Amino acid sequence: MSLQRRTVVLAVLAMFLAVGCAQTGTQPNKIAAKAPGQVIKINPGPKVQEEAQTALIKAKAGDTLEFGAGTYDFTQSLSLAVDNVTLRGQGIDKTILSFKKQDSGKEGLLVTRGKFLIEDLTIEDSKGDAIKVNDAEGVTFRRVRARWTGGAKESNGAYGVYPVQCKNVLVEECVVIGASDAGIYVGQSQNVVVRKCRAEENVAGIEIENCIDADVYENVATNNAGGLLVFDLPGLIVKNGKRVRVHDNQVFANNHANFAPKGNMVADVAPGTGMMVMATDQVELLKNTIKDNNSYSLLIVSFLITGRPMDDKQYDPYPEAVYVHDNTISGGGTKPSGERATMLAALLGSPLPDIIYDGILNPGKLVNGKLPPNQGVYVKNNGSATFANLHWDQLDEKASIASNKAKIDRDISKYQGELPALPGITLTETP
């Protein structure tokens, strides 16, 4: 892939102007023309469940389903299996699709076709995920709010905005509140842009998981248990994410209680976690503001630190080629929460270091005990941010604290290299 910044192109309505990108060197979006079709209007009423689902079934490529202002009460999931369809409301405070009375189906809305655009509406209180788009190419969420109105509960849906196994995904100006796993979750997808969104009161605010080529910027993540997470997990169809750029985000005060169902991976995220990179390669974190996250400001760790089984021979559990630079990090690590964070406080003192690296390396890649230069972890120009390499695989739970402390490396100068900048993402129009 070229390292030059490229133009973001997405197939959406021609009537919308391009939204300018704020990062240096990125060109404004060009909006591709949408194939002509009918505008099908839907309004609140006693038969709206039947009317809306019938419209979704009968929709043809190019059609727009336009929901008028008001609150819509649905008792079943809605589903769409037609390419090139738009769902539009009158604004997130004006058009509300409520699933509070839902008694069948898992999602609020399930989409299984591409060139899909949803904008200007709210989906709330779904039994499961609010909006799931599966195995589709060309997906846009714009000015969509997904929320659970009853407060933080384990019974809330897992995901708010949830594209999975998709290609060419744009999530912009969306808001997600109250998800019991991740508010904005993009999983096993390629060519992804998540920008100008807000995630709060979720277990994880924004999660990029097993994705290849993603650009995550100008988002706000606050009052979640974990703010912004870049994960790779074993056992999934798409293996080993890479090339994820995270920049110009505000990640602050993510100190909410973790209310995920027990046993879920995200249930292990300590309340008070700002950013975390786990197992993903080629990650660039730059120009983010990370502050006042009580447990961790930034973690860079392998999957091995979780202690979970890993029966996947194709899975790479080590984070490599991670470049952290020009971030502003402050006020974190003052009240560590959870078993692991409490243990680390005994080793590292309080506040915890701003950047914590577990230091677990792939033994098969080592040359004279070190990773090749293009696969290392580097930090640069992060102000007064403090650092610790735990050398986690060398710690001994039977040894004294003093003995384990001696193995921890706090010398940030050893890690002050740099890696080539990752490019922006080009979102192409689908056929």
pLDDT of residue 55: 97
Q: What percent of the chain has pLDDT over 70?
A: 91
Rounded Cα distance between 146 and 174, Å, is 8
For residue 221, what is the domain's CATH number?
2.160.20
Higher confidence at residue 346 or residue 430?
Answer: 346
- Residue 191 belongs to a domain: yes
pLDDT of residue 369: 86
Residue type, 83: D
For residue 5, pLDDT over 80 is answered with no
- Residue 65 belongs to a domain: no
The whole domain housing 258 covers 9-33+129-307
User: What is the model's pTM?
Assistant: 0.90
- CA–CA distances in Å: residue 402 to residues 210, 382, 399: 38, 29, 8
- Residue 288 belongs to a domain: yes
- Residue 331 belongs to a domain: no
pLDDT in tens, 29-42: 333 344 569 999 99
For residue 22, pLDDT over 80 is answered with no
pLDDT in tens, 368-381: 888 999 999 999 99
Residue type, 310: M
Mean pLDDT throughout 55-73?
A: 97
Number of structural domains, the chain? 1
pLDDT of residue 431: 37
Torsion from C-alpha of 342, 343, 344, 347, nearest 10 degrees: 120
| Phi then psi dihedrals of residue 312, to 5 deg | -155, 100
Mean pLDDT of the chain: 91
- Residue 196 belongs to a domain: yes
For residue 26, pLDDT over 90 is answered with no
Q: Band of the pLDDT at 429, cuts 50, 70, 90?
A: low
Rounded Cα distance between 292 and 199, Å, is 16
- CA–CA distances in Å: residue 299 to residues 142, 228, 262, 388, 401: 30, 11, 22, 10, 21
> Count of CB atoms within 10 A of residue 289's CB?
15
- Residue 299 belongs to a domain: yes
pLDDT of residue 25: 36
Mean pLDDT throughout 35-63?
A: 94
- Residue 340 belongs to a domain: no
The rounded Cα 34 to chain-centroid distance in angstroms is 28
pLDDT in tens, 252-302: 999 999 999 998 999 999 999 999 999 999 999 999 999 999 999 999 999
pLDDT of residue 396: 85
- Residue 187 belongs to a domain: yes
pLDDT of residue 398: 83
Least confident piece of the model among 17-21, 93-97, 316-320, 394-398: 17-21
Torsion from C-alpha of 336, 337, 340, 344, nearest 10 degrees: 10
pLDDT of residue 242: 97
pLDDT of residue 420: 97
pLDDT of residue 399: 84
